[in-house]
Amino acid sequence: MQDIIQTITVYAIPVLLAITLHEAAHGYVARMFGDQTAFVAGRITLNPLKHIDPIGTIVVPAAILLLSSLGGGGFLFGWAKPVPVNIGALRKPKQHMVWVAAAGPGSNLAMAILWVVLLKVLLMVGVDEPFFVEMSRAGVFVNIGLMALNLLPVPPLDGGRILTGLLPHRLAYSFARIEPYGLFIVLGLMATNTLGFFLRPFYKLGLAIVGLFV
């Protein structure tokens, strides 16, 4: 039980920051391109209470960590309340939605870099307290993991929205029609233990970029 509590304590802040800042980034970039929806709703904020989804932000990540502590393993993931985006309010809806979607994974990559820099600074100044070292490491891997998952080119994930924005209009329209089935596709990949295969290129890319700062 003590190991389980320690694991959840180490991961709590990194998971909370990774998920909530991911959503805030979507709203911030949407506002840059003309959509005020998230701003009016008070979602462009670092206050996690504005973004927390009780199930996706707390229960699911905690359950995965619990199973991992018991030897069950699992890919750590979660979600927050989606930030509202009015695509029609963007100045160039198709092009700008690519940047709005990319802002989420981009924020996770930026946070992973900040965590690894923090870890490097802690070790340089001689701070070897296990809790802070492990939290920094958790911050790196949680953010790289969420970045990789969200870059999966399956709508409604960010990668799917990015690909939709990059495809020609006719192909984009056809591709976007699979969005209602996107969650089932991801669950199917998880159930068949093939999700990791598709995420591996994005995960390795993230680690390679973070590695430049080690």
Please tell me which residue in 23, 129, 134, 179 is annotated as part of the active site.
23
- Active site includes 23? yes
Q: Which of 191, 179, 187, 190 is nearest to 154 (CA)?
A: 179
Q: Which of 149, 164, 40 is nearest to 98 (CA)?
A: 164
Q: What is the pLDDT of residues 32-67, one digit of tens each?
A: 999 999 999 999 998 888 888 888 778 877 777 777
Q: What does the pLDDT read at residue 128?
A: 80
Return the higher-pLDDT residue of 205 and 126.
205
Q: What does the pLDDT read at residue 38?
A: 95
Q: How many domains does the chain have?
A: 1
- Residue 2 and residue 10: Cα distance in Å, rounded? 12
Q: Which of 85, 82, 81, 104 is nearest to 35 (CA)?
A: 85
Which domain does 143 fall in, by range?
2-211
Q: What is the pLDDT of residues 126-182, one digit of tens each?
A: 888 889 999 999 999 999 999 999 999 999 999 999 999 999 999 999 999 999 999
- Residue 106 and residue 159: Cα distance in Å, rounded? 11
